[in-house]
Amino acid sequence: TRMMARVLRSSLTKSQPVGLTGNSNCTSHENTKSQVQDISLCVGNTMLTPNKLSKHLQSSSYIAPAKKLARRCVQIKYEEEPKIDRLSSNQNGIHSDTHPQAINRNSNDEYNHCAGTKKLKMEDEEKALQSRWEPPHWQEVLKNIRQMRAARDAPVDSMGAQKCTDVDAQPEIYRFQVLVSLMLSSQTKDQVTHAAMAKLRAHGLTVDNILATDPDTLGQLIHPVGFWKKVVYIKKTCEILRKYYGGDIPPTLKDMCKLPGVGPKMAHLCMDIGWGKLTGIGVDTHVHRISNRLGWTGRDTKTPEETRIALESWMPEEIWSDTNLLMVGFGQQICLPVGPKCSQCLNATLCPFGINPLSKSPKINSPLKLPVTGKAC
């Protein structure tokens, strides 16, 4: 009612005052929406009923306001219709708000929408899986590497981290020895690491015993390793293990990476060997070098961590655990850092580096250059 009055007041001149009445009263502001049909209009001194108002406006210059009035009336009538239906339904004992057909229709619409969204999501995942990049002939290349490593006679096979521990020790002591051997193996040959671990085990390689050993003595025990920082890392690690883990190693990858001197490669290998949990591929310099030579990274990666992310993007998870030991031994015997024995390699015709050994990165038959994204542990 107020909207009708405002529309007409804005259109009519001051010489023709406008008022709205309902039945016999001319108090337009007190009328409710349900009384719209009974409202009359006062134009000047003349009171117009709805029928007379229509004829008056058709013969005057107020056609535009009349159209607005008609549209407003229809809108009000339309808004009031559901209330009337709802009232009559309630009188008959039927609640339209809880009508089962309406509920079922809305539920079905929502279900169909969710099902369609889920179907589209599954189709997108299937397309992404089908379009996932993987290096050409990688199954054949891996099969040849396994064949060349069948003897398992590389240094890592007999002196790697898994061979430097006391298998008869208590589980927490065994896991601690795995962690220490991996910390010592950084930038160190397996022969040197194995010799240092033998001295530590003879001295007593437990958390409490290492904490009771002075730094000078500990440095002499691991002297072949040649890195004094490792003494500091091992001592600080032992303090953390005793304070927060009861002398055991962290059970999660995230906490493992927080230990001093422990990087992603050590953490993934320690979780696999120590806890039997596969969290990722342990990538060292051998795996990093060979993967780039084979073109398995999709692009030239600069760090072992970039290589790990690239490999895990396409390599089946069931072969992650064996990848480090397999490729480290292959890098120690055939795919050497300097002077690789490409003439003895079964992948000489499949490896981009073997085809063009003078190039630092694969150029012939190399895969697409794909970006590598991801975060370290």
Q: What are the tens digits of pLDDT across the range 212-233?
A: 999 999 999 998 887 789 999 9
Interaxial angle between packed helices 138-148 and 320-333, expressed in degrees from 0 to 180 and rounded to the nearest 10: 60
Q: Residue 8's Cα: distance from chain center in Å? A: 60
* pLDDT value at 148 more than 60: yes
Closest Cα to residue 281, out of 311, 261, 258?
A: 311
Highest mean pLDDT pick, 96-100, 104-108, 154-158: 154-158
Query: Residues 247-251: what's their mean pLDDT?
Result: 97
Residue 224: predicted pLDDT: 83
Q: Does domain 164-275 have CATH number 1.10.340.30?
A: yes
Separation between Cα atoms, residue 319 and residue 311, nearest integer Å: 11
Out of 265, 363, 369, 375, the active site residue is 265
* pLDDT value at 194 more than 60: yes
Closest Cα to residue 304, out of 377, 365, 202, 227?
A: 377
Per the prediction, the chain carries an average pLDDT of 76
Query: Residues 169-187: what's their mean pLDDT?
Result: 96
Residue 120: predicted pLDDT: 57
Residue 363: predicted pLDDT: 38
Query: Residues 289-313: what's their mean pLDDT?
Result: 96
* pLDDT value at 234 more than 50: yes
* pLDDT value at 74 more than 50: no
Q: What is the DSSP letter of 303?
A: S
Token pair of 356 as six digits: 């063009």
* pLDDT value at 1 more than 70: no
Separation between Cα atoms, residue 212 and residue 210, nearest integer Å: 5
Of 71-85, 105-119, 128-142, 305-319, the one with minimum mean pLDDT is 71-85
Residue 345: predicted pLDDT: 97
Interaxial angle between packed helices 63-91 and 2-11, expressed in degrees from 0 to 180 and rounded to the nearest 10: 170
Q: Please say if 265 is a catalytic residue.
A: yes
Residue 228: predicted pLDDT: 80
| pTM, to two decimals | 0.62
Residue 18's DSSP bridge partners are 43
In the chain, where the domains are located = 2-91, 164-275
